Structure formats: C-alpha cells, structure tokens
Amino acid sequence: MNNRIPMAILVVLVLVAFVWRVAHPPAPPLPGPLGAIPAWDSRTKIGDMGPSAVSPSGSFWAGAWNQKTASGELRSAILVIDLEKPRAFRQEIKSGSVVPSLSWKDDDTVRALVVDSDDPERIRTARIACVRRTGGESLECRTTALKQPVARILAWSSGSDKFAALLPGVAGKARVAVLSESGDLVGKVAEVELPPVASVHHTAAISPDGGWFVFSVAEDKVGGNITYYFADSRTGFAHKAFSLAELPGRVEGMWVSRAGVLTVCAEREKFQVLGYLFETAKSKLTPLGAKTDVTRGWPDAPKTMMFVTYNGGYELNLADGKVKQLFDLTKQGRYSDSWRRHVQDGRLYPRKDGDYTSISLVANEVDIRVIKKSGDKGPNILTRG
C-alpha cells in the first residue's frame, strides 16, 4: 500500500500556506541594530539611533531607535543591554511615535519621552513610557500622558520627580521650564531669543530640587558655537553663563545647585573640573582645586569619573582634580589601532570582575565593549564594527 500523500494534496497544502502567509505577513523587525550579542553592530540597523543613557550603577545601557518608513509611518523601539551578562531586551513603542529623550529612573527603570511627531513644532501629545526590567527575559512598559506637549526632556536626574524640558513654541524662541512627572509646570517658563539658525543643544543639567537648571544653545548649524544658559525655574529668568569657547575641552558632565554650575571637561589625556560659582563677585568659570568642597556643593555629582582615550584609561577625582591612569594602551600591538580608535573619547564603567565597560558615542553610533583591567581587548557588546 502506498502511504505517500498524493501530489495534489501537497500542492493544496502549499497553496494554503502561501495564501495564509500573504494574508498574515511576519511583523517587520523592530528599529535598532540587526542581530544579537555579539554578532551585531550599531551601524547595521533599522532606523536611526536617538537618545541613550547609562544606568546609575553603570551596569545597564539603554538607547532608542526611531524610524520613518517609506510610507511615512513612525516606528520606535527601546533597547536595554545588561552589560554584565551580557544580554539585551527590546521594547516596541506604539506605532506613530518618536522617542526624543531617554533617561534612567533607577537601575531597573528607563523613562522615555514619547511624542506623536518627529517635527518639534507639530507635537500635540506627549507621554512618559516607563520601561522596567521584570527580572526575567522581558521588559514591562507603562505609559502616562503628560498634561501638556513636550518637545524634548533636557535633563532628568535619577530618582527625581522633576525634569527640565523644551516646550513647543514659536520660531525664534526657546521655551524651557521645569515640569513634574505628570507634566504640571513647576514655577515659570523661561523664554530665550534665538538667532535664525540656532537650536537648543543636548547638554543640560537640573538641580536635585528642580529650582535651577542649565541648558545649551547651538548658535550655528554645525554646533561649533554653543552657549550655556543658567535658568531659575521659580522666576523664569534665564541668562547666558558661559560659552563653549571658554571650556577646555568637550563637556563630559554637568551639575547645578545653589553653589553654581559644576562642569567636567576632557580633551585627550587632559581632564579638568571647573565651577561657575555664584559666591564670587562676578560669576565666571574657575578651575576647582582641593579647597572646593565638591561633595557639599553638588551632592548629586559623582566622586570620580573614568575615561578612555586612544592611549589609555584614566580616573578623575572630582574633589581634587587629580587623575590616575588605570591602564596603558600604548603598549598594545599594531593590530589594536582600529578598536582603540573606536573607544577613544569614551567613558569607562567598572565591572564586577574588575574589568571595564567602554562606551563611546560618535555621530549617533554607539560602541560598547569590554576592556580588560590590563588594557587588553575584551568581548564585544555592541560595537561600531
């Protein structure tokens, strides 16, 4: 007896499967890097990488990718990487949305601003999406509508219920203010006149109580001329504090309190701690030394920060400005040139095993990898290639 299925039945089954697949196409991949750890890179992706942040402990990293399809549909997703394991989690955001801002509430929860347009002047609704690690292999996402539209969150400190925000406004003006988690205005809106091609830049800071904040304005299209404004959220008064030309390198950290503005700058192997102090007769940027009590003046600032350059790893003590070399990369062989260029100008975060996680962001492409405490190259996590 021939038990084989007749050819006609096979043809019918194939046709049914084909029709079902056409009627039920697979969901497109989420925006973000294609693949998985470690066989992926941040350049091979769907959509464009947006905001990113490292968790308070340095053990987790989160980034958002936004995509505008050929048909004009907006798609977004958030990627959370456990840097210690390593493992990654993806959270899809409701279609028709963009994520322009992202920060960590604590080591378990990412707070993302979700808006309904990629044009800041057309934003009509804004929500806060809290993406929380459940402890398993998935994420939990809950959203809360804000009481007013927000174009971008400029600064939101971990553990705080207040954030500094850029509000949608008229051309030629930047409207900034401090809001609560629900979107209620805290104090008054500050308005700053902008030059024709200027835009609000990404560097900002807010005091723990939300009373003061600092934001930056790029006064040209290339972002080479940046001005930093200090604002009082209670009165809505904002004034120019200092400019990029006055800083000895790129800004790696900024904190604000009633004492003034604390800034950490880096340029190759040179790291400096500066203060824009209010107690002086004329506020101006001043290099800080051991006489300044950084811990008391800026309690939310870290005690130390770690950096990686092409030549090595370094730790900066904010209290006295002293720098300690962690490892030397100049002793690496000639084949190290490529990965050393990817990590340079990045930040280092200590790992439980004594090694370091290196995170570098250039032109919205992230490079995340492990560097051994000896300075040798470790495993890749999400590199540029």
User: In three state form, how does the secondary structure of 336-364 look?
Assistant: HHHHHHHHCCEEEEECCCCCEEEEEEECC
The whole-number pLDDT of residue 352 equals 96
Mind listing the pLDDT tens digit for each residue in 346-384? 999 999 999 999 999 998 899 999 999 999 999 999 999
187 & 309 share domain: no
- On whether residue 133 sits in a domain, the answer given is yes
| Residue 159 in this model has a pLDDT that exceeds 80 | yes
296 & 347 share domain: no
Last residue of a domain, one of 282, 302, 322: 302
Domain count, the chain: 2
**3-state helix vs strand vs coil in the chain, percent to 5:** 10, 50, 40
Last residue of a domain, one of 255, 285, 302: 302
| Residue 8 in this model has a pLDDT that exceeds 70 | no
pLDDT band at 1 (very low <50, low <70, confident <90, very high): very low
292 & 312 share domain: no
| Residue 298 in this model has a pLDDT that exceeds 80 | yes
- On whether residue 6 sits in a domain, the answer given is no
- On whether residue 337 sits in a domain, the answer given is yes
Tell me the residue range of the domain where 322 lies.
303-385
Mind listing the pLDDT tens digit for each residue in 322-352? 999 999 999 998 899 999 999 999 999 999 9
The whole-number pLDDT of residue 292 equals 77
184 & 332 share domain: no
pLDDT band at 170 (very low <50, low <70, confident <90, very high): confident
The whole-number pLDDT of residue 257 equals 92
Last residue of a domain, one of 251, 280, 302: 302
pLDDT band at 134 (very low <50, low <70, confident <90, very high): confident
179 & 316 share domain: no
In degrees rounded to 5, what are phi and psi of residue 298? -135, 80
- On whether residue 3 sits in a domain, the answer given is no
155 & 235 share domain: yes
In degrees rounded to 5, what are phi and psi of residue 330? -70, -15
298 & 319 share domain: no
- On whether residue 70 sits in a domain, the answer given is yes
* Rounded Cα distance, 234 and 79, in Å: 36
- On whether residue 47 sits in a domain, the answer given is yes
| Residue 71 in this model has a pLDDT that exceeds 90 | yes
The whole-number pLDDT of residue 135 equals 75
Q: In this structure, are strands 126-133 and 260-267 parallel, antiparallel, or unpaired?
A: unpaired
224 & 136 share domain: yes
190 & 62 share domain: yes
pTM: 0.90
The whole-number pLDDT of residue 380 equals 97
292 & 307 share domain: no
Tell me the CATH number at 282: 2.120.10
The whole-number pLDDT of residue 245 equals 93
308 & 281 share domain: no
Contact 350, 306 (CB under 8 A): yes
DSSP string, 25-60: PPPPPPSEESSBTTB-BTTSEESEEEEEEE-TTSSE
- On whether residue 17 sits in a domain, the answer given is no
The whole-number pLDDT of residue 293 equals 85
| Residue 281 in this model has a pLDDT that exceeds 60 | no
Taking every pair of C-alpha atoms in the chain, what is the biggest distance, in angstroms? Answer: 104
With 0-12 CB in 10 A as exposed, 13-18 as middle and 19+ as buried, what is 264? buried
353 & 241 share domain: no
The whole-number pLDDT of residue 23 equals 56
- On whether residue 360 sits in a domain, the answer given is yes
Mind listing the pLDDT tens digit for each residue in 106-127? 999 999 999 999 998 899 999 9
